[in-house]
Amino acid sequence: MTRFVLSRLVSAIPTLFLVSLAVFTLIRLIPGDPVSLMLGDNVDDAAYAAMSHELGLDRPIAVQFLMWLQGAFQGDLGRSITTGEAVLPLVLQRFAITAQLVLVAVALATVLAVPLGMLAAWRQNSAFDLGVVVGATALMSIPTFWMGLMLLLLFGLNLGWLPVLGYVSPFDDFGAGALYLVMPVAALVLHECGILVRMSRASTLDVLRLDYVTHARAKGLTEGQVLRRHVFRNAFGPTWTLLGLILGNLLGGVAVVETVFTIPGLGRLIVESIYGRDYPVLQGCLLFVAFTYVVVNLIVDLCYPLFDPRVKTT
Amino acid sequence: MNLGRTNKYLGGLLIAFFLLSALLGWLWTPYDPLALDLRARLQAPGAAHWLGTDEYGRDVLSRLMAAARTSVTISALTVSFAVTFGIVLGALSGYARGWIDRAVMLLTDTLLAFPSILLALALLSILGANIWGVILALGLAYMPTVTRVVRGAVMSLREQEFIEASRLMGHPVGYTLRAHVIPNCLAPVIVIATSMFGSVLLTESALSFLGLGVPPPAPTWGNMLAGARPYMSQASWLGIFPGLCIALTLLGINLFGDYVRDRFDPRMKGL
């Protein structure tokens, strides 16, 4: 077990290194010169050179990369060009908001969708199954931002049940914060439910047709025992992997949903930094998101043996 | 009810409907999708404007048709780009193995470590927000998935006798790849390409919605939705119709995708 964990951890290191290199390269490829962006166009050569030196831009590109990496290790991702704020605290503060939204949504979607998919698979081709499949495909086809807009139109504007725009931290005022989160969370849950139901149904169907399930039934186990002990546990694997991908994707910024409901999350920060050409912020966000993505998938990998002991040996 | 037939016909019907609207949008729209008419601002759907007008008095139906054209063009070119280069890279790296394989996989895995919409966003800030920038950015963001799948298929293919036979007959590598390897790994690619079409359409709309895709005034379903936001309470049709177009097209692609999967990958039938 320890070896499994260690080997997975070590195998993530080159990926993380390459991801940092990719982020660094991407930002360098963006047309435009950061120094003229910060100082404006009409600037004398001395000031320009001084700024270049301060930012380390007069050094070889490899040295720049290593300096940036060293800074990143020490938690220094530079400062925002527009506000002068330190990037890392800014990213973390915005990420906390996105994480609340996403974690609640993914947890809810899992609890709703996984059992539903499994039940539909168990009753394959019944009216219930058909309803679930059709519903899931329809939900999956509705983009979160449109779902958000429609919820807003119905419950916010027409019925007036829920606050329309903005964000209140649930840690400051739990009741109000929760109210503000209802619609964004619902938009995400409905869309992800569609995807998760289909996945959990498909992997359950895969398991149901295996010989050992027939065997379990043949030896006289009740249907409940067959499903609980033999089917559901084994069918959860692929869904678990998909959950990791979904979580990583959403944590990377649900920019569209945050835009619909004007929530100041990480996704908004990324979009704003692109609009404002605030490259240090964009670079910090990209690095942070890619790291989160890799780490979330690593955690998903590490959890695998918990419900599938066979993974340990491989 | 037979789900397979529903997938094929309903999915096909929805796709055909939007393809035809896109095609028609090329030749004719009821009004000029870009023409301003300030006297006809924010008119509700009615006889003159079937789906109403927006805040500049532009006809919503005409704009939806023009947007369908843009979306179809972008999705088709993006998927073609991702599939073409994905097949070439995947086939090369799966067939050649060695350092080429390692280099391609390193690149692919690095790109896959970013959520695809984020990668597209980052690439867009390099390439610039215009139709070609969007296609290239999305194509690069979706290419790694194809590369991985093709590489996997090619790696198991290259060990089979008929590929070895082609090698032994002295055929050049390019010929073996073209004539024997690639045709045999197209099934999973077709399955992926179909669902990718939907996901590209979705990402493109999301980018437009964020104001980072095809720039206004050219209409896309995404930027029409973004433009509708301030007017939701007085002109809800502005927010309803573009979203409905995205959702129905996606539904068509998803249904049809299920049919294609059952057809080309019979193991997955009924899943």
Digit-coded pLDDT (tens) for A11-50: 888 888 888 998 888 888 887 777 777 777 677 788 888 8
Within an 8 Å CB–CB cutoff, is residue B146 touching chain A? Answer: no
What's the pLDDT score for residue A188?
94
Cα separation, B232 vs A206, whole angstroms: 45
CB contact under 8 A, A202 and B268: yes
Residues in chain B within 8 Å Cβ distance of A248: 115
Cα separation, A153 vs A148, whole angstroms: 9
- A35 closest CA partner among A47, A51, A46: A51
* Residue environment code for B204-224, b if the CB has 16+ CB neighbours within 10 A, otherwise e: bbbbbbbbbbbbeebbbbbbb
Average pLDDT, chain A: 85
Average pLDDT, integer, range A94-106 = 92
ipTM above 0.90, yes or no: no
What's the pLDDT score for residue A145?
92
Identify the residue with better confidence: B269 or B24. Answer: B24
Nearest to A145 among B106, B209, B211 (CB): B209
Average pLDDT, integer, range A211-229 = 88
Interface of B with A in 3-22 (CB under 8 A): 3
Cα separation, B175 vs B197, whole angstroms: 29
- B71 closest CA partner among B213, B229, B241: B213
Q: How many residues does chain B have?
A: 271
What's the pLDDT score for residue B271?
41
Within an 8 Å CB–CB cutoff, is residue B228 touching chain A? Answer: yes
What's the pLDDT score for residue B5?
74
Interface of A with B in 114-133 (CB under 8 A): 124-125, 130, 133
Angle between helices A144-151 and B236-264 (to 10 degrees): 140
CB contact under 8 A, A142 and B115: no
Residues in chain B within 8 Å Cβ distance of A274: 121, 124-125, 212
What's the pLDDT score for residue A111?
94
* Contact (CB, 8 A) for A137 and B254: yes
Hey, how many other C-beta atoms are within 10 angstroms of the C-beta on B97? 14
What's the pLDDT score for residue B245?
94
Cα separation, A249 vs A241, whole angstroms: 12
Hey, how many other C-beta atoms are within 10 angstroms of the C-beta on A226? 20
CA B145 to chain centre: 13
Average pLDDT, integer, range B162-182 = 89
Within an 8 Å CB–CB cutoff, is residue B156 touching chain A? Answer: no
Cα separation, B223 vs A146, whole angstroms: 12
Which residues have a Cβ under 8 Å from the Cβ of B245 and sit 6 or more positions away? B18, B64, B67, B68, B221
Residues in chain B within 8 Å Cβ distance of A255: 117, 121, 206, 210
Band of residue A9 on the pLDDT scale cut at 50, 70, 90: confident
Render pLDDT for A243-262 as a digit per residue (tens, 0 to 9): 888 888 888 768 899 988 88
| CATH entry, B22-268, from 1.10.3720.10, 3.40.710.10, 3.40.640.10, 3.40.190.10 | 1.10.3720.10
CB contact under 8 A, B126 and A31: yes
3-state secondary structure of A8: helix
- B184 closest CA partner among B150, B159, B161: B150
Full-model pTM: 0.87
Task: Using the predicted structure, report yes or no on whether residue B107 has a pLDDT greater than 90.
Answer: no
Residues in chain B within 8 Å Cβ distance of A149: 225, 228-229, 232, 239, 243
Angle between helices A266-275 and B116-127 (to 10 degrees): 10
